[in-house]
């Protein structure tokens, strides 16, 4: 154990002192904080320019019917052609010209001419206004009252309540659970690939430099492999903890400065609400904000057991990483250079890639057979089970999945040790699957 501890300390200290580790530890939180803050901050920036749109309505159906906002105004021009109206852009403070053809009811295509690129907000406002009016005209033409149609439109919301075995009830938000599942699964996938491949590259580097021959004069191959795997695992955990702490600190600080102490969740919901409201023609709806929905989201966040989430993440990250790192180390010991690893990498990486491919199916149906069996299979359970945990998984399934993962880690470590022991001192030979089988078979 003493030798393994020395190797762990060497791997850990060597890697955390590298410029690449320090650089990524600083840049990572900045990039993640930017992903949270920048879109929300941009959405809060107001465009103070009042856009005056000249309307040339050949159908004469929409005159004074298009709703205006504080930033969008319409000026209806009569007895003028589209070309003549386009020449007025700039001279009469017109931002653009909206041309509505006489056949708009049968062929609903209009033209928006402008020397600038019209914003999505402007285009959506015009689209929604015209769509609503054209539908009203068609309903009236067929002797149907548009207000009757409008009155029967109903938004139905499904509130999910989970009934626990002890009789208690929990309000769940499937959207929030899906997001947490996506994030948890992707983080596990990312860290296993990132730090598992570091183990493989480290072994190949030591082998190619013949450093390993000196090291193996003092320690056993199994001790060297375990030390490298655990040491790099600690590097990964250190960087993850630093990323989480620094990202949280940056998001909190920047949101207080740029977003006036409003939380990110509130800003995102408000921004989405504003965009949706600006694309409608109901001016009354623009003045309302559904704070009940915002309150429901916060209530759901409070009900999430973050202790279970963090523990599950650490467990599946550590043992999933240890299992895959043993296999990556075996590949590194079997080959002379990184180019030769491709033939052995594919069988190992397919389960991880398959977990990501099935992510949508698993998060939309976390109780289905695909989600269940892939959360039991050790090669896919680290990613898949983290996708299921936010939805609530019976403890017996988590227990079985965890035991299978630990047993598979022990088996893959033994298997990798057999390959590592023979392959680490082998040079200049193209290794095949047959050779690997022989190495495993040899006592």
Token pair, residue 290, equals 């559904």
How many Cβ atoms from other residues are within 10 Å of residue 146's Cβ? Answer: 15
* Cα distance between residue 328 and residue 347, in whole Å: 11
Q: 42-67 pLDDT, tens per residue? A: 665 555 678 889 999 988 888 888 88
pLDDT at 405: 92
Q: How far apart (Å, rounded) are the C-alpha atoms in residues 210 and 198?
A: 18
pLDDT reported for residue 291: 47
The residue that leads in pLDDT, 161 or 94, is 94
Assign 268 a pLDDT band (cuts: 50, 70, 90): very low
Burial pattern 204-232, b for ≥16 Cβ within 10 A else e, equals bebbeeeebeebbeebebbbbbbbbbbbb
Element (H, E) at 267: helix 264-278
Q: What is the DSSP letter of 165?
A: T
Cα 118 from Cα 101, distance rounded (Å): 20
pLDDT at 278 over 50: no
Tell me the pTM.
0.63
Q: Which of 98-112, 227-241, 314-328, 329-343 has the lowest mean pLDDT?
A: 329-343
* Position 259 confidence tier, pLDDT thresholds 50, 70, 90: low
Residues of the chain with CATH 3.40.190.10: 51-149
The two three-digit tokens of residue 191, written as one number? 């860290």
Q: Give percent above pLDDT 70 in the chain.
A: 79
**114 three-class SS:** coil
How far apart, in Å, are the Cα atoms of 403 and each of 165, 305, 381, 410? 24, 22, 11, 11
Model confidence pLDDT, tens digit, residues 202-223: 777 777 766 666 676 777 777 7
Q: What's the DSSP call for residue 159?
A: P
CB 336 within 8 A of CB 208: yes
In the structure, what pLDDT confidence band is assigned to residue 271 with cuts at 50, 70 and 90? Answer: very low
pLDDT, position 204: 78
* CA–CA gap between residue 52 and residue 88 (Å, rounded): 12
CATH node for 51-149: 3.40.190.10
Q: Is 32 exposed, middle or buried (0-12, 13-18, 19+ CB in 10 A)?
A: middle
């Amino acid at each position: 154990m003493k030798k393994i501890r020395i190797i762990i300390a060497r791997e850990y200290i060597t890697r955390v002192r590298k410029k690449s580790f320090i650089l990524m530890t600083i840049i990572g939180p900045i990039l993640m904080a930017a992903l949270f803050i920048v879109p929300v901050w941009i959405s809060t920036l107001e465009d103070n320019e009042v856009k005056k749109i000249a309307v040339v309505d050949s159908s004469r159906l929409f005159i004074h019917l298009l709703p205006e906002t504080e930033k969008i105004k319409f000026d209806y021009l009569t007895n003028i052609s589209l070309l003549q109206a386009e020449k007025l852009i700039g001279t009469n403070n017109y931002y653009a010209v909206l041309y509505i053809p006489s056949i708009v009811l049968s062929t609903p295509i209009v033209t928006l001419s402008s020397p600038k690129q019209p914003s999505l907000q402007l285009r959506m406002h015009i689209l929604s206004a015209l769509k609503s009016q054209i539908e009203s005209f068609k309903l009236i033409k067929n002797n149907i009252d548009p207000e009757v149609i409008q009155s029967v439109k109903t938004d139905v919301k499904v509130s999910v309540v989970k009934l626990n075995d002890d009789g208690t009830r929990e309000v769940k938000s499937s959207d929030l659970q899906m997001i947490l599942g996506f994030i948890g699964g992707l983080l596990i996938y990312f860290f296993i690939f990132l730090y598992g491949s570091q183990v493989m590259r480290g072994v190949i580097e030591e082998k190619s430099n013949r450093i390993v021959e000196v090291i193996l004069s003092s320690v056993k191959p199994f001790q060297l492999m375990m030390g490298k795997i655990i040491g790099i695992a600690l590097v990964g955990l250190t960087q993850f903890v630093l990323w989480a702490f620094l990202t949280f600190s940056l998001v909190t600080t920047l949101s207080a400065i740029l977003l006036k102490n409003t939380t990110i969740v509130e800003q995102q919901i408000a921004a989405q609400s504003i965009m949706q409201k600006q694309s409608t023609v109901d001016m009354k709806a623009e003045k309302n904000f559904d704070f009940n929905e915002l309150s429901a989201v916060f209530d759901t966040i409070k009900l999430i057991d973050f202790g279970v989430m963090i523990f599950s993440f650490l467990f599946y990250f550590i043992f999933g990483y240890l299992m895959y790192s043993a296999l990556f180390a075996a590949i590194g010991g079997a080959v002379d250079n990184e180019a030769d690893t491709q033939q052995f990498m594919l069988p190992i990486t397919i389960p991880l890639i398959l977990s990501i491919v099935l992510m949508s199916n698993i998060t939309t149906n976390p109780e289905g057979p695909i989600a269940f069996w892939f959360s039991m299979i050790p090669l896919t359970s680290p990613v898949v089970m983290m996708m299921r945990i936010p939805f609530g998984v019976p403890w017996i399934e988590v227990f079985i999945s965890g035991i299978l993962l630990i047993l598979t880690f022990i088996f893959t470590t033994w298997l990798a040790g057999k390959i590592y022991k023979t392959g680490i001192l082998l040079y200049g030979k193209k290794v095949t699957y047959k050779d690997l089988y022989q190495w495993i078979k040899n006592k």
